[in-house]
Structure 1
Amino acid sequence: MKIESIVTIKKELQHLPMEDLLALCLRLGKFKKENKALLTYLLFESHDEDGYIASVKSTLDELFEGMNTDSYFYMKKTIRKILRQIRVYSRYSNKKTTEVELLLYFCERLNQLKPSIHRNRTLSNLYERQIISIKKKISVLHEDLQYDYNLQLQDLRQ
Structure 2
Amino acid sequence: MKAATVSELKKALAVLDHQELLDACVRLAKFKVDNKELLTYLLMKSGDERGYANEVCAEIDEQFPTATFIHKKTMRKIIRSMDKRIRYSGDKETELQIRIHFCRRFIDREVRIGNCRVSANMYAAQLKKIEKAIEKVHPDLQFDFRHEMEGLESLR
For residue 156 of structure 1, report the CA deviation from its aligned partner: 2.2
CA–CA distance in structure 1, aligned partners of residues 97 and 52 of structure 2? 11
Higher helix proportion (structure 1 or 2)? 1
CA–CA distance in structure 2, aligned partners of residues 152 and 104 of structure 1? 8
**2:18 matched residue in structure 1:** 18
**For residue 24 of structure 2, what is the amino acid of its counterpart?**
L
TM-score norm. by structure 1 comes to: 0.88
Paired-residue identity, %: 40
For residue 137 of structure 1, report the CA deviation from its aligned partner: 1.2
Q: Secondary structure at the match of 2:2?
A: coil
Q: Which runs of 4+ in 1 moved over 4 A?
A: none
Q: Secondary structure at the match of 1:157?
A: coil
Aligned residues: 154
**1:157 matched residue in structure 2:** 153
Is 1:38 the equivalent of 2:38?
yes
Q: Secondary structure at the match of 2:150?
A: helix
**For residue 53 of structure 1, what is the amino acid of its counterpart?**
A
CA–CA distance in structure 1, aligned partners of residues 147 and 115 of structure 2? 25
**How do 1:6-85 residues align onto structure 2 when only pairs under 5 Å count?**
6-64=6-64, 67=65, 69=67, 72=70, 75-85=71-81
CA–CA distance in structure 2, aligned partners of residues 68 and 54 of structure 1? 20
Unmatched 5+ stretches in structure 1: none
CA–CA distance in structure 1, aligned partners of residues 111 and 53 of structure 2? 27
**1:144 matched residue in structure 2:** 140
Q: Secondary structure at the match of 1:156?
A: coil
